[in-house]
Every structure is written in C-alpha cells, then in structure tokens.
C-alpha cells in the first residue's frame, strides 16, 4: 500500500467501488483514513457491499454509499458534492457480450461524460483519476511491432478497435478520448489517467465478475488442460494498479497517461506460473497450443480467427518506465500474483480440484 498524505483526511469519490480493481483502491483509502463516497448501482445490495463495510469498520476511514448509474445523467452529483478527488473506475469489463454498443460502449463513453460533466459542476473537485486501460493504447499484440522502437508507450493510441472488433477495447479508447476532451476544455481540475494491462491478483472480498476472474475461472475448470495459446499481453498485479491510482491522486504532479504493467507475457506463460503449486490438483496446461491449431479451433472456443492471427505468437511489449519513475511503482513477480489469485479463487469456490 502507498502511504497517502499524512494528517490530511480528504473526501474522495470512487465510482465502481463494488468492482475488483476499485476494491483495492477503496481499501488503501480507508486504511489511510480518508472519507470515501461510493456511488453504486444498488446501495441496498448488502451482499455486494458487505466486504466494503467491513473494511470501513476495521480502519480509520469512512465509507458512504450513494445511488448512481453511469447511464443516468446527473446521478453522481450527490456523491461528488464536497469531494476533492474523483476516481472514475466504473466501466463494464466483459468480453462475452451480445450487444456491444449497449453493454460496453454506452456505459464507458456516456458514463465518462456523465461523471466528468458533473465534476465540472462540482466546485470542490481538483483532480480526476481515470481508470483507462492498455486497451486504449493498442488493439492487438501485433501492434507492438509497429509502435516506435517496437514498444507501446503513452504516446500510442488504439486506432483499429471498433464496435464489431474488440468492442471492449473500443469502449475504453472512446471513453479515454472523451475524458481528455472534457478535461482540456476546463481548468478547474486536472486529469491523471492510469492505463493498466491485464489485471491479476486476489480480490479484497466477494466473488468478482470482472473478465480477469472469468478467464481464470475457465482455466481453473480445466478448459485449457490440453494447451493454452501464446496470446501476447501485459500483466499487472491489482495491488500495484491501486497504488498507481493513490499516487496519481495525492502526489503525482503531472497530468497525463501512465502505462501500468509489470510483465510483458502471454496466456500460456501466466498459466505456467501456476504449475509448481497447483499442477498436481488442477488441470494446468503443460504445453502451448500451436498457432495454426489455435486458428482452426478459435471460433469454437470464442476466439475470432482475425484475433488469433493478430495476437497469438506476437510478443507484447510496453514501456512501463513512466510508472516506475513518476508513480514510484515496483512490480512484484508474476508467479506471486498468479498463485495468490488462484488460491483466492479456490477459497471463494470458483472451481474444484480435478
């Protein structure tokens, strides 16, 4: 955990506090004694909020819940009143959707507009920390090779996602662009953007439905036991993503984007990190699926052939030096992140031994 400013209890708002990533941000804030305003879709959902209430009870900070929805204009106004910092993390992260416009793009884009326009009308707001994604920087792993010096940096934008191809990435790209547009048109608050790669690691409680957990649940149930594709992506521990948000809010001087990614890796590698500790009891793949086979069977396991062509066996590379130098991040080993996440999921009942 990053220590926030001492003796300065601030009132801050966190959208999406029920989510996986935001949970760790809220935990850090409550441990540092801040007052957290948490607008959620259903403040009466005791099951979803229990772990957050328990955290507030055992720490010096306070949490107050409000009712809001990304798609209801003005619904964040009450929660934002009196807040100096706004963390905007809420946005659906799911890949398996029927209507990408409705399920991903509208909540991401209209939600960002809704929250930031309310910031314009709330005079106490001085800084907005936006949870964007590396998905707003690249579309496919093949893009890394054509980036300057073969590496993604904060200067690169995703230019090829669309409503029909990688719509989650498209939703994050549109949302971040909208945030910059609104930020640049005013001078009351500044915008710091965090762009995490694929987030892994344990949750603070509950049973998250984030795509991070959906994918690992498929692995834990043995879906990749005969082999996993070398699907190139970056990986970061959720606790480092939270640290990045806290530093961005309280100590980072400069606005701007920040790639937050600990490891340039691929899907087979991240599952291999589980083999030593869990290989005996769970169906962890022992080999990578050859690309041609992944291409052939892709459509039967939910992977478009275009996606396989552009992502499997293409090394993913991003420059994380800005996060190290300006946010002071140091990244833990991937094996630790993966083992702790898998153990969390076993304990939470996501899957059973083979």
Only one residue has tokens 């996440």, namely 341
Nearer to ligand NAP, 199 or 294 (CB): 199
Which CB, 210 or 252, lies closer to ligand NAP?
A: 210
Sign of the dihedral through C-alpha 177, 179, 182, 185: negative
CB of 44 to ligand NAP, least distance (A): 12
What are the CA-CA distances from residue 134 to residues 67, 198, 199, 313 (Å)?
Answer: 29, 8, 11, 19
**Considering only CA atoms, which of 128, 108, 143 is closest in space to residue 256?**
128
How far apart are CB 199 and ligand NAP at their closest, in Å?
3
The answer to whether 106 and 161 are in contact (CB under 8 A) is no
Nearer to ligand NAP, 118 or 133 (CB): 133
The residues near 176 (Cβ < 8 Å, ≥ 6 apart) are 112, 130, 132, 133, 136, 193, 195, 257
**Which residues here bind ligand NAP, judged by CB under 6 A?**
16, 18-22, 40-41, 69-71, 89-93, 107, 131, 133, 172, 196, 198-199, 208-210, 212
Q: Are 29 and 13 in contact (CB under 8 A)?
A: no
Are 244 and 132 in contact, with CB atoms under 8 Å apart?
Answer: no
CB-closest chain residue to ligand NAP: 19
Residue 97 C-beta: closest distance to ligand NAP, Å: 12
Considering beta carbons, is residue 70 or 295 the nearer one to ligand NAP?
70
* Residue-by-residue DSSP string for 58-126: TSS-EEEEEE--TTSTTTTHHHHTT-SEEEE------S--S-HIIIIIIIIIIHHHHHHHHHHH-TT--
In the bound state with ligand NAP, the residue whose beta carbon lies nearer, of 17 and 284, is: 17
Least distance from C-beta 87 to ligand NAP, angstroms?
A: 10
The residue count for the chain: 354
Judged by CB, which is closer to ligand NAP: 216, or 308? 216
338, 270 contact by CB (below 8 A): yes
Least Å distance, CB 238 to ligand NAP, is 8
Q: Rank residues 242 and 295 by Cβ distance to ligand NAP and give the closer one.
A: 242
CB of 127 to ligand NAP, least distance (A): 18
Residue with tokens 């990749």: 224
CB of 39 to ligand NAP, least distance (A): 8
Torsion of CA 218, 265, 21, 332, to 10 degrees: 120
- The nearest distance, CB 239 to ligand NAP, in angstroms, is 13
Nearer to ligand NAP, 260 or 289 (CB): 260
């Amino acid at each position: 955990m990053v220590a926030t400013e001492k003796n300065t209890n601030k009132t801050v708002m966190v959208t999406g506090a029920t989510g996986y990533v935001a949970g760790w941000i809220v935990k850090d804030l409550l441990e540092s004694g801040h007052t957290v305003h948490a607008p959620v879709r259903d403040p009466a959902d005791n099951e979803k909020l229990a772990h957050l209430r328990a955290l507030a009870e055992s720490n010096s900070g306070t949490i107050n819940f409000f009712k809001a929805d990304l798609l209801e204009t003005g619904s964040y106004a009450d929660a934002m009143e009196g807040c100096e910092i706004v963390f905007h993390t809420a946005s659906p992260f799911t890949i398996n959707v029927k209507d990408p416009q409705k399920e991903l793009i509208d909540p991401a884009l209209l939600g960002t507009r809704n929250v930031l326009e309310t910031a314009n009308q709330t005079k106490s707001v001085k800084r907005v920390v936006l949870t964007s994604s590396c998905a707003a920087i690249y579309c496919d792993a093949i893009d890394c090779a054509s980036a300057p010096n073969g590496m993604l940096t904060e200067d690169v934008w995703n230019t090829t996602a669309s409503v029909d191809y990688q719509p989650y990435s498209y939703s994050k790209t549109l949302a971040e662009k909208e945030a910059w547009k609104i930020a640049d048109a005013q001078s009351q608050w500044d915008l710091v953007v965090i762009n995490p790669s694929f987030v892994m690691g344990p949750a603070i409680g509950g049973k998250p439905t984030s795509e991070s957990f959906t994918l690992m649940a498929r692995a834990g149930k043995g879906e990749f036991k005969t082999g996993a594709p070398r699907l190139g992506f970056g990986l970061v521990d959720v606790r480092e993503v939270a640290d990045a948000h806290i530093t961005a809010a309280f100590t980072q001087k400069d606005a701007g984007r920040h790639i937050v990614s600990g490891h340039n890796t691929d899907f087979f590698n991240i599952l291999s990190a589980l083999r030593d500790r869990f290989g005996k009891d769970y169906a962890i793949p022992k080999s990578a699926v050859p690309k041609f086979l992944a291409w052939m069977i892709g459509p039967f396991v939910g992977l478009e052939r275009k996606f396989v062509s552009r992502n499997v066996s293409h090394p993913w590379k991003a420059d994380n030096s800005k996060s190290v130098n300006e946010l002071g991040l140091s990244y833990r080993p991937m094996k630790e992140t993966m083992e702790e996440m898998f153990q969390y999921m076993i304990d939470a009942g996501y899957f059973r031994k083979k």
